[in-house]
Amino acid sequence: MRIIVCIKQVPEGIDVKVDPETKRIVRDGVKSIINPYDLYAIEEGIRLKERFGGETWVISMGPPQAESAIREAIGMGIDNGVLLSDKKFAGSDTLATSYTLSLGIKKIGNFDIIICGRETLDGSTGQVGPGIAEHLGIPYITYVSKIIDIKEGKIECKRLMEDHYEIIKAKLPVLINVVKEINEPRIPSLKNMLRAKKIEIPIWNAEMLGGDQSLFGQEGSPTKVIDVWTQTIKKEGRKIEGEPEKLVEEIINEFKKLGVL
Ligand SMILES: Cc1cc2nc3c(=O)[nH]c(=O)nc-3n(C[C@H](O)[C@H](O)[C@H](O)COP(=O)(O)OP(=O)(O)OC[C@H]3O[C@@H](n4cnc5c(N)ncnc54)[C@H](O)[C@@H]3O)c2cc1C
Protein backbone atom coordinates (compact mmCIF):
# COMPACT_ATOMS: atom_id res chain seq x y z
CA MET A 1 0.00 0.00 0.00
CA ARG A 2 1.36 3.46 -0.89
CA ILE A 3 0.39 6.29 1.45
CA ILE A 4 1.11 9.91 0.47
CA VAL A 5 0.87 12.67 3.06
CA CYS A 6 0.52 16.30 1.93
CA ILE A 7 2.26 18.79 4.19
CA LYS A 8 2.61 22.55 4.04
CA GLN A 9 5.23 24.71 5.72
CA VAL A 10 3.63 27.72 7.41
CA PRO A 11 4.94 30.73 9.39
CA GLU A 12 5.22 29.95 13.09
CA GLY A 13 2.66 31.60 15.35
CA ILE A 14 -0.45 33.56 14.58
CA ASP A 15 1.41 36.77 13.76
CA VAL A 16 1.30 36.26 9.98
CA LYS A 17 2.63 39.28 8.05
CA VAL A 18 1.30 40.22 4.64
CA ASP A 19 3.17 42.30 2.02
CA PRO A 20 0.92 45.35 1.48
CA GLU A 21 1.99 45.61 -2.20
CA THR A 22 1.74 42.00 -3.40
CA LYS A 23 -0.87 40.90 -0.80
CA ARG A 24 1.23 37.77 -0.31
CA ILE A 25 2.32 36.24 2.98
CA VAL A 26 5.83 37.37 3.96
CA ARG A 27 7.86 34.19 4.37
CA ASP A 28 11.42 35.62 4.24
CA GLY A 29 13.13 35.72 7.62
CA VAL A 30 10.09 34.20 9.34
CA LYS A 31 10.56 30.96 11.26
CA SER A 32 8.53 28.24 9.60
CA ILE A 33 7.05 25.02 10.94
CA ILE A 34 5.05 22.11 9.56
CA ASN A 35 1.40 23.14 9.57
CA PRO A 36 0.32 21.74 12.98
CA TYR A 37 -2.70 19.86 11.53
CA ASP A 38 -0.37 18.08 9.10
CA LEU A 39 1.50 16.45 11.99
CA TYR A 40 -1.64 14.36 12.58
CA ALA A 41 -1.68 13.42 8.87
CA ILE A 42 2.00 12.36 9.06
CA GLU A 43 1.38 10.33 12.22
CA GLU A 44 -1.63 8.59 10.66
CA GLY A 45 0.39 7.75 7.55
CA ILE A 46 3.08 6.11 9.70
CA ARG A 47 0.46 4.25 11.76
CA LEU A 48 -1.25 2.94 8.60
CA LYS A 49 2.07 1.56 7.40
CA GLU A 50 2.59 -0.06 10.82
CA ARG A 51 -0.90 -1.62 10.69
CA PHE A 52 -1.17 -2.62 7.04
CA GLY A 53 2.37 -2.46 5.63
CA GLY A 54 3.50 -0.50 2.60
CA GLU A 55 5.41 2.67 1.94
CA THR A 56 4.95 6.27 3.06
CA TRP A 57 5.68 9.52 1.23
CA VAL A 58 5.36 13.20 2.04
CA ILE A 59 4.84 15.81 -0.64
CA SER A 60 4.93 19.57 -0.29
CA MET A 61 4.59 22.45 -2.68
CA GLY A 62 6.52 25.50 -1.58
CA PRO A 63 9.75 27.50 -1.69
CA PRO A 64 13.13 25.66 -1.38
CA GLN A 65 13.15 26.06 2.41
CA ALA A 66 10.09 23.76 2.63
CA GLU A 67 12.62 20.93 2.25
CA SER A 68 13.22 21.18 6.01
CA ALA A 69 9.55 20.30 6.66
CA ILE A 70 9.99 17.18 4.53
CA ARG A 71 13.10 16.18 6.46
CA GLU A 72 11.22 16.68 9.73
CA ALA A 73 8.45 14.32 8.54
CA ILE A 74 11.08 11.73 7.60
CA GLY A 75 12.53 12.20 11.08
CA MET A 76 9.14 11.15 12.45
CA GLY A 77 9.25 7.93 10.38
CA ILE A 78 8.05 8.72 6.84
CA ASP A 79 10.01 6.78 4.19
CA ASN A 80 10.38 9.26 1.28
CA GLY A 81 9.74 12.87 0.43
CA VAL A 82 9.46 15.15 -2.57
CA LEU A 83 9.29 18.92 -2.90
CA LEU A 84 7.44 20.68 -5.71
CA SER A 85 9.18 23.99 -6.18
CA ASP A 86 9.33 26.44 -9.06
CA LYS A 87 8.91 30.20 -9.46
CA LYS A 88 6.00 29.33 -11.77
CA PHE A 89 4.04 28.07 -8.73
CA ALA A 90 4.13 31.50 -7.02
CA GLY A 91 0.78 33.19 -6.50
CA SER A 92 -1.16 29.92 -6.61
CA ASP A 93 -4.66 29.96 -5.19
CA THR A 94 -6.15 26.74 -3.84
CA LEU A 95 -7.16 25.51 -7.32
CA ALA A 96 -3.64 25.90 -8.74
CA THR A 97 -2.11 24.48 -5.53
CA SER A 98 -4.28 21.37 -5.66
CA TYR A 99 -3.63 20.95 -9.42
CA THR A 100 0.15 21.12 -8.86
CA LEU A 101 0.00 18.68 -5.95
CA SER A 102 -2.19 16.27 -7.95
CA LEU A 103 0.45 16.17 -10.71
CA GLY A 104 3.18 15.48 -8.12
CA ILE A 105 1.08 12.68 -6.62
CA LYS A 106 0.50 11.19 -10.09
CA LYS A 107 4.25 11.33 -10.72
CA ILE A 108 4.91 9.39 -7.48
CA GLY A 109 2.28 6.98 -8.81
CA ASN A 110 0.52 3.83 -7.53
CA PHE A 111 -1.05 5.64 -4.57
CA ASP A 112 -3.74 4.07 -2.38
CA ILE A 113 -4.32 6.69 0.32
CA ILE A 114 -3.58 10.41 0.31
CA ILE A 115 -3.75 12.11 3.70
CA CYS A 116 -4.10 15.86 4.27
CA GLY A 117 -4.50 17.97 7.36
CA ARG A 118 -7.89 19.55 8.08
CA GLU A 119 -6.69 23.04 7.15
CA THR A 120 -3.62 25.25 7.41
CA LEU A 121 -2.73 27.90 9.97
CA ASP A 122 -2.14 30.61 7.34
CA GLY A 123 -4.59 30.04 4.45
CA SER A 124 -7.05 27.87 6.43
CA THR A 125 -9.42 27.30 3.51
CA GLY A 126 -9.53 23.50 3.86
CA GLN A 127 -9.97 23.37 0.07
CA VAL A 128 -6.68 21.84 -1.03
CA GLY A 129 -7.42 18.22 0.00
CA PRO A 130 -10.80 18.00 -1.77
CA GLY A 131 -9.24 19.92 -4.71
CA ILE A 132 -6.51 17.29 -5.13
CA ALA A 133 -9.11 14.49 -5.03
CA GLU A 134 -11.19 16.25 -7.71
CA HIS A 135 -8.14 16.66 -9.97
CA LEU A 136 -7.29 12.98 -9.50
CA GLY A 137 -10.93 11.87 -9.91
CA ILE A 138 -10.93 9.88 -6.66
CA PRO A 139 -13.31 9.87 -3.65
CA TYR A 140 -12.51 11.87 -0.51
CA ILE A 141 -13.59 11.75 3.10
CA THR A 142 -13.15 14.87 5.21
CA TYR A 143 -12.77 15.27 9.02
CA VAL A 144 -11.67 11.67 9.60
CA SER A 145 -11.26 10.98 13.33
CA LYS A 146 -10.48 7.25 13.05
CA ILE A 147 -9.52 4.78 10.35
CA ILE A 148 -11.49 1.70 11.34
CA ASP A 149 -10.23 -0.72 8.70
CA ILE A 150 -8.82 -1.11 5.22
CA LYS A 151 -9.70 -4.32 3.43
CA GLU A 152 -10.87 -5.65 0.07
CA GLY A 153 -9.90 -2.41 -1.65
CA LYS A 154 -12.05 -0.27 0.69
CA ILE A 155 -11.42 2.05 3.61
CA GLU A 156 -13.83 2.46 6.53
CA CYS A 157 -13.55 5.71 8.50
CA LYS A 158 -15.21 7.47 11.41
CA ARG A 159 -15.98 11.06 10.51
CA LEU A 160 -16.34 13.86 13.05
CA MET A 161 -19.32 16.14 12.50
CA GLU A 162 -20.43 19.10 14.62
CA ASP A 163 -22.63 17.06 16.96
CA HIS A 164 -22.38 13.45 15.77
CA TYR A 165 -20.14 10.92 14.05
CA GLU A 166 -20.57 9.16 10.71
CA ILE A 167 -19.10 5.87 9.51
CA ILE A 168 -18.12 6.13 5.86
CA LYS A 169 -16.76 3.55 3.45
CA ALA A 170 -14.99 4.43 0.21
CA LYS A 171 -13.09 2.65 -2.50
CA LEU A 172 -9.33 2.98 -2.76
CA PRO A 173 -7.57 5.06 -3.95
CA VAL A 174 -9.00 7.68 -1.63
CA LEU A 175 -8.08 11.05 -0.14
CA ILE A 176 -8.86 11.75 3.49
CA ASN A 177 -8.28 14.76 5.67
CA VAL A 178 -7.84 14.19 9.36
CA VAL A 179 -8.78 15.99 12.57
CA LYS A 180 -6.73 16.33 15.76
CA GLU A 181 -8.76 13.64 17.50
CA ILE A 182 -7.30 10.90 15.29
CA ASN A 183 -3.96 10.44 17.09
CA GLU A 184 -1.12 11.94 19.08
CA PRO A 185 1.82 12.81 16.78
CA ARG A 186 5.07 11.16 17.81
CA ILE A 187 8.37 12.88 18.51
CA PRO A 188 11.08 12.26 15.85
CA SER A 189 13.47 9.45 16.82
CA LEU A 190 17.25 9.83 16.69
CA LYS A 191 17.55 6.97 14.16
CA ASN A 192 15.02 8.57 11.81
CA MET A 193 16.51 12.02 12.29
CA LEU A 194 19.89 10.74 11.15
CA ARG A 195 18.24 9.15 8.09
CA ALA A 196 16.37 12.40 7.40
CA LYS A 197 19.62 14.36 7.46
CA LYS A 198 21.23 12.19 4.79
CA ILE A 199 18.33 11.34 2.47
CA GLU A 200 18.15 13.06 -0.90
CA ILE A 201 14.95 15.03 -1.40
CA PRO A 202 14.08 15.36 -5.09
CA ILE A 203 12.80 18.75 -6.22
CA TRP A 204 10.32 18.62 -9.08
CA ASN A 205 9.68 21.78 -11.10
CA ALA A 206 6.82 22.71 -13.43
CA GLU A 207 8.46 21.15 -16.48
CA MET A 208 9.10 17.87 -14.67
CA LEU A 209 5.46 17.71 -13.57
CA GLY A 210 4.19 18.18 -17.10
CA GLY A 211 0.47 18.92 -17.27
CA ASP A 212 -1.03 22.15 -18.54
CA GLN A 213 1.60 24.81 -17.71
CA SER A 214 -1.02 27.59 -17.87
CA LEU A 215 -2.74 26.08 -14.81
CA PHE A 216 0.21 26.73 -12.48
CA GLY A 217 0.73 29.72 -10.20
CA GLN A 218 -0.89 33.10 -10.66
CA GLU A 219 -1.87 32.38 -14.29
CA GLY A 220 -3.75 29.24 -13.24
CA SER A 221 -5.47 30.95 -10.32
CA PRO A 222 -8.99 32.20 -11.02
CA THR A 223 -9.18 33.89 -7.60
CA LYS A 224 -7.09 36.93 -6.70
CA VAL A 225 -6.53 38.56 -3.32
CA ILE A 226 -7.89 42.10 -3.85
CA ASP A 227 -7.07 43.44 -0.42
CA VAL A 228 -5.74 42.15 2.85
CA TRP A 229 -5.10 43.77 6.20
CA THR A 230 -4.32 42.77 9.74
CA GLN A 231 -6.66 43.41 12.61
CA THR A 232 -5.32 45.47 15.48
CA ILE A 233 -6.24 43.76 18.70
CA LYS A 234 -6.29 46.10 21.67
CA LYS A 235 -5.18 44.40 24.85
CA GLU A 236 -6.49 46.11 27.95
CA GLY A 237 -6.16 44.97 31.51
CA ARG A 238 -6.93 46.24 35.00
CA LYS A 239 -5.33 44.92 38.12
CA ILE A 240 -7.81 44.42 40.94
CA GLU A 241 -6.38 44.12 44.43
CA GLY A 242 -7.90 43.69 47.87
CA GLU A 243 -9.54 41.20 50.25
CA PRO A 244 -10.75 37.93 48.60
CA GLU A 245 -14.50 38.48 49.39
CA LYS A 246 -14.41 42.04 48.02
CA LEU A 247 -12.39 40.89 45.02
CA VAL A 248 -15.06 38.42 43.87
CA GLU A 249 -17.71 41.14 44.17
CA GLU A 250 -15.57 43.57 42.18
CA ILE A 251 -14.81 41.03 39.46
CA ILE A 252 -18.54 40.25 39.10
CA ASN A 253 -19.29 43.98 38.83
CA GLU A 254 -16.55 44.37 36.17
CA PHE A 255 -18.02 41.48 34.16
CA LYS A 256 -21.50 43.03 34.44
CA LYS A 257 -20.17 46.35 33.16
CA LEU A 258 -18.58 44.55 30.19
CA GLY A 259 -21.85 42.73 29.48
CA VAL A 260 -20.24 39.31 30.01
CA LEU A 261 -22.64 38.52 32.89
C1 LIG B 1 -7.22 34.03 -3.94
C2 LIG B 1 -5.99 33.46 -3.33
C3 LIG B 1 -4.74 33.89 -3.75
C4 LIG B 1 -3.61 33.43 -3.14
N5 LIG B 1 -2.41 33.90 -3.53
C6 LIG B 1 -1.31 33.48 -2.90
C7 LIG B 1 -0.04 33.98 -3.23
O8 LIG B 1 0.07 34.83 -4.10
N9 LIG B 1 1.05 33.50 -2.57
C10 LIG B 1 0.92 32.56 -1.59
O11 LIG B 1 1.92 32.15 -0.99
N12 LIG B 1 -0.27 32.06 -1.24
C13 LIG B 1 -1.38 32.50 -1.87
N14 LIG B 1 -2.58 32.04 -1.53
C15 LIG B 1 -2.62 31.00 -0.52
C16 LIG B 1 -2.52 29.69 -1.21
O17 LIG B 1 -3.60 29.48 -2.04
C18 LIG B 1 -2.54 28.68 -0.15
O19 LIG B 1 -1.33 28.82 0.57
C20 LIG B 1 -2.57 27.27 -0.69
O21 LIG B 1 -3.46 27.13 -1.75
C22 LIG B 1 -2.99 26.33 0.39
O23 LIG B 1 -4.27 26.71 0.82
P24 LIG B 1 -4.58 26.70 2.33
O25 LIG B 1 -3.41 27.26 3.05
O26 LIG B 1 -5.91 27.31 2.56
O27 LIG B 1 -4.62 25.12 2.62
P28 LIG B 1 -5.82 24.22 3.18
O29 LIG B 1 -6.75 23.89 2.07
O30 LIG B 1 -6.39 24.82 4.42
O31 LIG B 1 -4.93 22.96 3.52
C32 LIG B 1 -5.49 21.68 3.79
C33 LIG B 1 -4.41 20.65 3.69
O34 LIG B 1 -3.95 20.56 2.34
C35 LIG B 1 -2.56 20.26 2.33
N36 LIG B 1 -1.83 21.39 1.71
C37 LIG B 1 -2.20 22.68 1.60
N38 LIG B 1 -1.25 23.38 0.96
C39 LIG B 1 -0.25 22.52 0.67
C40 LIG B 1 1.02 22.65 0.03
N41 LIG B 1 1.45 23.81 -0.45
N42 LIG B 1 1.79 21.54 -0.10
C43 LIG B 1 1.35 20.34 0.36
N44 LIG B 1 0.18 20.17 0.99
C45 LIG B 1 -0.62 21.23 1.15
C46 LIG B 1 -2.14 20.07 3.79
O47 LIG B 1 -2.31 18.73 4.13
C48 LIG B 1 -3.17 20.93 4.52
O49 LIG B 1 -3.35 20.56 5.86
C50 LIG B 1 -3.72 32.47 -2.11
C51 LIG B 1 -4.99 32.02 -1.72
C52 LIG B 1 -6.11 32.52 -2.30
C53 LIG B 1 -7.47 32.02 -1.84
Q: Say which CATH topology domain 2-215 has.
A: Rossmann fold (3.40.50)
**In the predicted model, is pLDDT for residue 14 greater than 70?**
no
Which residue minimizes the CA distance to atom 39 of ligand 1? 8
Question: Is the C-beta atom of 116 inside 6 A of ligand 1?
Answer: yes
pLDDT tens sequence across 109-121? 999 999 999 999 9
φ, ψ for residue 42, nearest 5 deg? -60, -50
| d(CA 123, ligand 1 centre) in Å | 6
Q: What is the mean pLDDT of residues 113-140?
A: 96
pLDDT for residue 254: 84
Each domain of the chain, given as residue ranges in start order, spans: 2-215
| d(CA 90, ligand 1 centre) in Å | 11
C-alpha span between 8 and 35 (Å, rounded) = 6
Other CB atoms within a 10 A radius of the CB of residue 45 amount to: 28
pLDDT for residue 244: 81
Other CB atoms within a 10 A radius of the CB of residue 180 amount to: 15
pLDDT for residue 38: 98
pLDDT for residue 132: 98
Question: Is the C-beta atom of 21 inside 6 A of ligand 1?
Answer: no
**Ligand 1, closest atom to CA 225?**
1
| d(CA 98, ligand 1 centre) in Å | 8
Question: Is the C-beta atom of 11 inside 6 A of ligand 1?
Answer: no
pLDDT for residue 240: 80
Q: Give, for ligand 1, the residue of 82, 125, 216 to mutate: max count of ligand atoms closer than 8 Å to Cβ.
A: 125
Q: Do 45 and 80 meet the contact criterion of CB atoms below 8 Å apart? A: no
**In the predicted model, is pLDDT for residue 17 greater than 80?**
no
pLDDT tens sequence across 163-222? 999 999 999 999 999 999 999 999 999 999 999 999 999 999 999 999 999 999 999 999
pLDDT tens sequence across 32-86? 999 999 999 999 999 999 999 999 999 999 999 999 999 999 999 999 999 999 9
Question: Is the C-beta atom of 55 inside 6 A of ligand 1?
Answer: no
Mean pLDDT over the full length of the chain: 93
pLDDT for residue 210: 97
C-alpha span between 162 and 56 (Å, rounded) = 31
Question: Is the C-beta atom of 97 inside 6 A of ligand 1?
Answer: yes
Question: Is the C-beta atom of 62 inside 6 A of ligand 1?
Answer: yes
**In the predicted model, is pLDDT for residue 261 greater than 90?**
no
- Give the predicted TM-score (pTM) of the model: 0.87
**Ligand 1, closest atom to CA 35?**
49
pLDDT for residue 109: 97
**In the predicted model, is pLDDT for residue 15 greater than 70?**
no
Q: Do the bridges between strand 174-178 and strand 113-117 make them parallel or antiparallel, or are there none, so unpaired?
A: parallel
Strand stretches in the chain, DSSP E: 2-6, 9-11, 32-34, 55-61, 80-84, 113-117, 140-151, 154-160, 165-171, 174-178, 203-204
Question: Is the C-beta atom of 72 inside 6 A of ligand 1?
Answer: no
Which residue minimizes the CA distance to atom 53 of ligand 1? 93
Q: Give, for ligand 1, the residue of 8, 127, 175 to mutate: max count of ligand atoms closer than 8 Å to Cβ.
A: 8
Question: Is the C-beta atom of 60 inside 6 A of ligand 1?
Answer: yes
